[in-house]
Structure 1
Amino acid sequence: MADIALLTALIEPEVKALGFDLVRIKLFGSGDEHTLQIMAEDPKTKQLVIEDCAAISRRISDVMDEADPIEEAYRLEVSSPGIDRPLTRLHDFIEWAGHEAKITATEIVDGRKSFRGVLNGVEGDNILFTDAKSGDVVIPFALVSDAKLLLTDALLSATMPLSSDGADDFETEE
């Protein structure tokens, strides 16, 4: 598998050149089925529309074809992080403070590796968190292996779609 740091160095400048922020790069799969997943967002809306995904995909495809950093065949997938988005950057924990999340650490922190509760922001390089079971905890960002927002009514309200025009218009075959 390819080095994620190398892929980030190739992909992030291209995403930024289009005016978007890179959220995550993930390469997964086995055998003949590999996927390079790119999550990006418009910094103003925290979302992407299909045209944005297409533009990023075209630009990344050209760079990846030229650099050829992945030995095996792969499928390129470009998407918005979605509502229950992964939290991958320190500023994500600031931006989504007040919302519920699940965090998994690589090492034991305050007697646990898995936390579920409310984000309270950051202090330095530490995430301030109120775990539903153990109360307030400080989790070093460097120890976070996985973190994502949990789907709640408050999160849904905070992430209303860019436009819902046409959402109720659909055609059916008779």
Structure 2
Amino acid sequence: MSNTESTVAKIINPKLVELGFELVDIKYTREGGRWFLRIFIDQPEGIGLEDCQLVSENIDTLLDEYDPIPHAYTLEVSSPGLDRPLKKPADFARFTGESVKITTFAPFAGRRKFKGQIIAAEEHSVTLNIDGTSIVLPLEQVASARLVPEF
């Protein structure tokens, strides 16, 4: 996370928790000459349009008050989608039994990309079932992890 994203997370996370939402990710990016602050939220029941509107109204006020971004930007609040990123140990534990794609920073067991089912999650590792073989990956080696939607 960039400094701006970290600052925004510290400002809005208490309000999100109060409202019953989890902060999944923040993206602060410039596209086509405009700045965007994208907030991704989740909750066990999923996210609807009303949830995004409620969160947007509440955090917009906070962001105006603390003013962590010195120029104009567009605030967008949305769900992380079916292929949501997994970032914290609790994310891996919550989605035990689900399929995931993981990329590591450096080769692990001779490769950097893994696709399998989460069969266990600990504070510092995640265990995947990949074609009947269990592989334990240290979370410190995980560069990115996303759920794989199955239809």
TM-score using structure 2 length: 0.86
Task: Name 1:141's counterpart in structure 2.
Answer: 139
Query: Are 1:13 and 2:26 an aligned pair?
Result: no
Query: Are 1:84 and 2:90 an aligned pair?
Result: no
Task: Name 1:110's counterpart in structure 2.
Answer: 109
Separation in 2, partners of 1:106, 1:141: 10
Q: Deviation of residue 121 (structure 1)?
A: 2.1
Q: Deviation of residue 136 (structure 1)?
A: 2.5
Q: Deviation of residue 30 (structure 1)?
A: 4.6
Q: Which has more strand, going by share of residues?
A: 2
Separation in 2, partners of 1:48, 1:102: 22
Counterpart code for 1:110: A
Counterpart code for 2:14: P
Separation in 2, partners of 1:86, 1:143: 15
Secondary structure, counterpart of 2:68 in structure 1: coil
Task: Name 1:169's counterpart in structure 2.
Answer: none
Q: Deviation of residue 2 (structure 1)?
A: 4.2
Closer, same or farther in 2 for the Cα pair 1:35/1:124, shift >3 Å? Answer: same
Separation in 1, partners of 2:3, 2:34: 14
Structure 1 runs, 4 residues or longer, greater than 6 Å off:
none
Separation in 1, partners of 2:53, 2:110: 44
Task: Name 1:27's counterpart in structure 2.
Answer: 28
What stretches of structure 1 of length at least 5 have no aligned partner?
154-174
Secondary structure, counterpart of 1:82 in structure 2: coil
User: How many residues are matched?
Assistant: 150
Post-superposition CA distance 1:2-39 (Å, at most 9, x none): 43222211111111121212111222235622221111
Secondary structure, counterpart of 1:108 in structure 2: strand
Post-superposition CA distance 1:91-131 (Å, at most 9, x none): 12112112211011222222222111111121331011123
Separation in 2, partners of 1:124, 1:135: 21
Separation in 2, partners of 1:139, 1:16: 29
Taking every aligned residue pair, what percent have the same amino acid on both sides? 35
What stretches of structure 2 of length at least 5 have no aligned partner?
none
Separation in 2, partners of 1:142, 1:4: 21
Task: Name 1:150's counterpart in structure 2.
Answer: 148
Separation in 2, partners of 1:3, 1:94: 28
Separation in 2, partners of 1:67, 1:143: 35
